Every structure is written in structure tokens, then in C-alpha cells.
Amino acid sequence: MATILGIESSCDETSASICIDGKIRSNIIANQTVHEKFGGVIPELASRAHQQNIIPTVDAAIQEAKIHKNEIDAIAFTRGPGLLGSLLVGTSFAKAFALAQHIPLIEVNHMQAHILAHFIDDPKPSFPFLCLTVSGGHTQIVQVNDFFDMELIGQTIDDAAGEAFDKTAKILNLPYPGGPLIDKYAKTGNSEKFTFPEPQIKGLDFSFSGLKTSILYFVQQRLSKNPLFIEENIHDLCASVQSRIVSILLKKLKLAANETKIKNIAIAGGVSANSGLRNTLLEIAASENWKVFIPKFEYCTDNAAMISIAGYYKYLQGDFVTQDIAPLARWGIAKN
């Protein structure tokens, strides 16, 4: 029996999860609403909110799993990448908990954990598989050879896909995080109403900053003629932007699949909750003969279930860290 407590605090979600023998027994997420009015995450406020949330969140996770804290065999925490002040809260908590309970401490790479969320439920992907990992801070194509053997084969050279959604939302006067709202409005919009340019980036890398600028100029120009342009066209604007972001992502994923000849294809990270991305991926999968793995909604955006499952696989390997461990704001996916 292995009971793992997972802690996630890399950005603006404080989360705790209990995983027993590879099964998730609880996954409590405290969302921070304090950032909404600022149009983005304010690091100092995030860190303060993590400090307030962490103990009640862990207590709730232990309670929901119907266990006692003395039954926990190891604690896994997000060491990075993320906001340093936020990571420090989870790291310090994990270190103190491990010390007090005399249990091992397990470091987890947040981006690896997004991918390993695919090992929570069945069907689980077999190795090797490709994962398009799309979040607020990252856009990557990863070749996953084994649980902790991952190769980065493509990434964004500027903004992440989630940032493209969030920055577009800001231009359209929608609150942060804008991705889910754009997704919602896009559902009843015409994606062919407006055409936004496709970046010309070679190979498997991505770029989203030019798209953001073109949306900004386009909206400003239309607003100068019609101050109600956004309100009158919000559904079509969202559908058109979303369809372009999705087409950029899936074009590169298709190229990666062709180059590597891998047909097991997964998506992960906050943007993998996007319905346009999920539906278009399924369409391409049918024509390309791919076996696709799409995470449950609750495991797309930041959560500790993915940390506790990653921690479980490290526990099986006896991969522990010592008390002198410090968080890493930047931490590549390929380095374990």
C-alpha cells in the first residue's frame, strides 16, 4: 500500500490530493479569485492566498479520502516551474510535513505532472506517446518515452497558447482567466467571420505574439468606427480567435506525429479543456488513425491529483529528495 499526499501551488490554485495505490481518493482545489480584476495573476497576492489556503485544503483532502494523516507514506510537491513565491509555500509546507511525519519527500515537475495526469484513469497511454501540453505559461510538444523520460521536441518561442487566450480576452474586456470564457462564447459564434493570420514558424515550434498583436490592431481599428463592435460581435470574435489558436496547435501536432511516426497522441494542461481543441483533435484523430487521450476536465487545469499520481510513480522508484531542496521557478521538462 502506498498513500501519497500531493501538493500543488505553482500559480494561482492551491490544491491537495490523496492518491492510494495509483487511485485518486481526493483532489481539493482552492481557486484564487483575487486576481480577476487585475486581468492576470499578481504573484504577491497569489503567494499570500496560498499561505491562507494550504492548511484547510490539505485538511479537506485528508478528510475526503477518509484517512488519518499518519497513514500517509510520502508527500509529493510541485518544485517548479512556476511563480517562486507560490512554489515556496507548497515546498515549505511539504518539507515541514515530511519532517513532522517522518516520511519521504518527493519533488514533482509541474509540466511532467500535467502529462502524467493521463495515468489517473483508464485507458492509459502506452509509451512512447506525444503530448501537446498547453497551459498559461507553456506550449510544448513532448515525446514521452517513459514516466520520467520526456523529450521536448517543440515549444513556443514567445507567448503560450493560454496567454494568447487570456490576452485576447483582455482585449475583448473579458475577465481573467479568459480562456474558459472565450470557449463559452465561441460555442455559438461563426469561426469564419474574421480571419486572423497564421504565424510562419519553421519546424515544431510555435509563436502566438503576432496573433495577439493582430487581434489588438484589428479590434482597435473596428472600435474606432463602431464603439459597440466588441459587444455586437463577441461570439464571432471568440469563435474566430479560438479556431485560429486551435489550428496553429494542431498543425504542429500533426507535423510532430508525422515526423516521429507516433500515433498515440495526448493533450494536457489548462488549454486542453478547450472544446474547440478537443473536438478538432478528435476529427483529426479519425482521419490520421491516431489513438487520442484527452484528460477529464478536472485534470486539465492545475490540480494536485496530477502531483500525487506523479509522486506515486516516483515513490515506486524510491525517488526521494532531502530537506535542502528549494523551488525552481524555471525547470525544463526533460531534466528529471
Give the binding site for ligand KG4 (CB under 6 A).
11, 135-137, 162, 165-166, 177-180, 183, 269-271, 273-274, 301-302
Nearer to ligand KG4 among residue 3 and residue 47 (C-beta): 47
24 strand-pairing partners: 19
Nearer to ligand KG4 among residue 54 and residue 115 (C-beta): 115
Report d(CA 293, CA 127) in Å as an integer: 13
Residue of 135, 140, 191, 274 that binds Zn ion (CB under 5 A): 135
Beta carbons of 7 and 304 less than 8 angstroms apart: yes
CB of residue 86 to Zn ion, shortest distance in Å: 12
Of Zn ion, ligand KG4, none, which one sits near residue 129, judging by CB under 5 to 8 A according to partner kind?
A: none
Give all strands (DSSP E) within 186-318, no chain letters.
Answer: 264-268, 291-293
Beta carbons of 185 and 236 less than 8 angstroms apart: no
Cell (9 digits) for 102: 517522518
CB of residue 278 to Zn ion, shortest distance in Å: 17
CB of residue 252 to Zn ion, shortest distance in Å: 20
**Residue 243 binds Zn ion, judged by CB under 5 A:** no
Task: Kindly identify the residues of this chain, within the stretch 63-122, that bind Zn ion according to CB under 5 A.
Answer: none
Nearer to ligand KG4 among residue 58 and residue 117 (C-beta): 117
Report d(CA 158, CA 32) in Å as an integer: 26
Q: Which one-letter DSSP state was computed for residue 126?
A: P
Q: Which one-letter DSSP state was computed for residue 206?
A: B
3-state secondary structure of 33: coil
CB of residue 176 to ligand KG4, shortest distance in Å: 8
Nearer to Zn ion among residue 31 and residue 101 (C-beta): 31
CB of residue 137 to Zn ion, shortest distance in Å: 7
CB of residue 178 to ligand KG4, shortest distance in Å: 6
Nearer to ligand KG4 among residue 67 and residue 216 (C-beta): 216
17 strand-pairing partners: 6, 27
Report d(CA 88, CA 86) in Å as an integer: 5
Of Zn ion, ligand KG4, none, which one sits near residue 177, judging by CB under 5 to 8 A according to partner kind?
A: ligand KG4
Residue of 302, 310, 313, 314 that binds Zn ion (CB under 5 A): 302
Phi–psi pair at 254, nearest 5 degrees: -65, -45
Of residues 243, 253, 252, the one with CA closest to residue 277:
243
> Which residues in this chain contact Zn ion in the complex, by CB under 5 A?
135, 302
